[in-house]
Amino acid sequence: MLENNISTVNNDVKTLVKDAQALFTAATALTGEKAEELRGRGMRALDTALAIAQEAQVKAVESSKAAAATTDAYVKDNPWRSVAVAAGVGLLVGVIVGRK
């Protein structure tokens, strides 16, 4: 779910930045009122991209905090099970690294 949202946000931001770049490129060839209009549209597109990125960052931080709180509660409720899982993961990583 979170990975899908991050991918969507990344694609949206990339599209907005590409559009802004195209507008700025077009604006360099023009002068006067039309150039100002294109520059303004480009700046608005970049502002939108920045707002989307900041919103995604806030959501990611909230999701991380919720996951950390859930993990903390689980470890407090099941300390020995958590130790066993950590030891198992450590053993698995050790075996994998030892083979290479």
Q: Return the SS3 of 53.
A: helix
In the chain, the amino acid numbered 8 is: T
* Average pLDDT of the segment spanning 33-54: 80
C-alpha torsion sign, points 70, 73, 78, 82 = positive
Quick: pLDDT tens for 72-93.
998 899 999 989 999 999 999 9
The DSSP-derived string for 14-40 is HHHHHHHHHHHHHHHH--THHHHHHHH
- Helix%, strand%, coil% for the chain, nearest 5: 95, 0, 5
Q: What is the pLDDT of residue 1?
A: 59
Domain extent, residue 50, equals 2-99
Distance CA 21, CA 23 (A): 5
- On the question of pLDDT at 21 being above 90, the answer is no
Residue with tokens 């083979």: 99
State how many domains the chain has: 1
Q: Are 55 and 12 in contact (CB under 8 A)?
A: no
